[in-house]
Amino acid sequence: MEKLSSSPIRNRYAAARRNADWTIDQDWPSYSPEEHDRWDRLFARQAKLLPGRACEAFLAAQAKLELSRAGVPDFADLSKRLSALTGWSVVAVAGLIPDEAFFEHLANRRFPAGAFIRPEAEFDYLEEPDVFHDVFGHVPLLADPVYARFLQAYGEGGRRALGLGQLHNLARLYWYTVEFGLMRTPEGLRIFGAGILSSPAETVFSLEDSSPNRVLFDLERVMRTKYIISDFQQTYFVIESFETLLRDCDLDFGPLYELLCAAPDIEAHELAPQDRILTRGDFAYFRAKGFAPRAA
Ligand code: HBI
Ligand code: FE
């Protein structure tokens, strides 16, 4: 993910005047009817797919926050409802911001959300986080008290990791939970990662395709595992609950970072000896695209 934080900002907010903390004015009145309509179409498509696939906390939070088809949300308005629940607010940014600023916001319960909405040509996939990825995908779970605490703790950890030069390990934790995490529930696997929740194809692929591995979450294992930025994940990690995720991460990362320095990275497709495997992928989707995992 760090690779992306230096990508040039190429949307209508690129020249927006920004504050020292990288926030900008969302300028909600400036959204065109086409942009509101695009939000509605993106929303409607996921609203059809997510019941029975997104975790209950996500669906409940969407209702609590009154996130619906009524066009791009006004962050000030949304933040009033969100902060009343968990003290989080949504602040506008033009695109990816430097790691330091990003973690500072999270540590203070401010979620930096892209204000731009993807162009029609990138309706199905874009690399930078736009308002649909950030507000539709990430924001609802900030209304869940335990998840809200986890993300704030991630921000606090990010500031420390930056100081220790360990960001790449911590970024993997974010990637395999906040962005692409799954949860095991009595009704079956459910999605909580924003990267999946905002993507119709990966919503289905992550739960139903035979290609990827699905492995129970283990903090050290996740922090050793490389990830893919521009395709579906080859391994999904599965938590039991936000409570167990928060408890598993509630430790001094110092000794863990030392251990990680000596431990080899694990490839995105590999299974490790200590893995508690839920499904062993057959990689059919990836092989069809020319991926040939070396025999382990
Ligand atoms: N900036 N706006 C924004 N959104 C992100 O998700 C983001 C970022 N900057 C850095 C970053 N993510 C990652 O490098 C960290 O999660 C590691
Ligand atoms: Fe994201």
- Give the pLDDT confidence of 60-94 residue by residue, as tens digits: 999 999 997 789 999 999 999 999 999 999 999 99
Q: Is the pLDDT score of 137 beyond 90? A: yes
How many domains does the chain divide into? 1
42 occurs within a structural domain: yes
Q: Is the pLDDT score of 265 beyond 50? A: yes
What percent of the chain has a predicted confidence (pLDDT) above 70?
A: 97
Average pLDDT in the 32-48 region? Answer: 97
Name which residue sits closest to atom 4 of ligand 1, judged by CA: 96
- Token reading at 239: 């938590």
* Burial profile 26-51: b = 16 or more Cβ within 10 angstroms, e = fewer: beeeebeeebeebbbebbeebbebbe
32 occurs within a structural domain: yes
- Domain coverage including residue 219: 28-288
Q: Is the pLDDT score of 5 beyond 90? A: no
CA–CA dist 85, 146 (Å, integer): 12
276 occurs within a structural domain: yes
Q: How far is the CA of 101 from the centre of ligand 1 (A)?
A: 9
What's the pLDDT at 295?
63
Average pLDDT in the 10-18 region? Answer: 93
Ligand closest to CA 133: 2
| Structure confidence at residue 9 as a pLDDT band (50, 70, 90) | confident
| Structure confidence at residue 118 as a pLDDT band (50, 70, 90) | very high
**Ligand 1 site residues, Cβ closer than 6 angstroms:** 1-2, 5, 93, 96-97, 99, 102, 112, 129, 167, 171, 174
Ligand closest to CA 9: 1
273 occurs within a structural domain: yes
| Structure confidence at residue 1 as a pLDDT band (50, 70, 90) | very low
Phi and psi of 238, rounded to 5°? -120, 120
Average pLDDT over all residues of the chain: 94
Q: How far is the CA of 152 from the centre of ligand 1 (A)?
A: 14
Q: How far is the CA of 179 from the centre of ligand 2 (A)?
A: 6
Specify the ligand 1 atom closest to the Cα of 4: 14
| Structure confidence at residue 234 as a pLDDT band (50, 70, 90) | very high
Q: Is the pLDDT score of 252 beyond 90? A: no
Lowest mean pLDDT, pick from 34-38, 117-121, 164-168: 164-168
What's the pLDDT at 296?
53
Name which residue sits closest to atom 17 of ligand 1, judged by CA: 171
Q: Is the pLDDT score of 293 beyond 90? A: no
Q: Is the pLDDT score of 7 beyond 80? A: no
With the most atoms of ligand 1 within 8 angstroms of its CB, the residue from 102, 110, 134 to mutate is 102
Specify the ligand 1 atom closest to the Cα of 175: 16
93 occurs within a structural domain: yes
Q: Is the pLDDT score of 157 beyond 90? A: yes
154 occurs within a structural domain: yes
Q: How far is the CA of 282 from the centre of ligand 2 (A)?
A: 27
294 occurs within a structural domain: no
| Structure confidence at residue 2 as a pLDDT band (50, 70, 90) | very low
Average pLDDT in the 180-189 region? Answer: 98
CATH for 201: 1.10.800.10
18 occurs within a structural domain: no
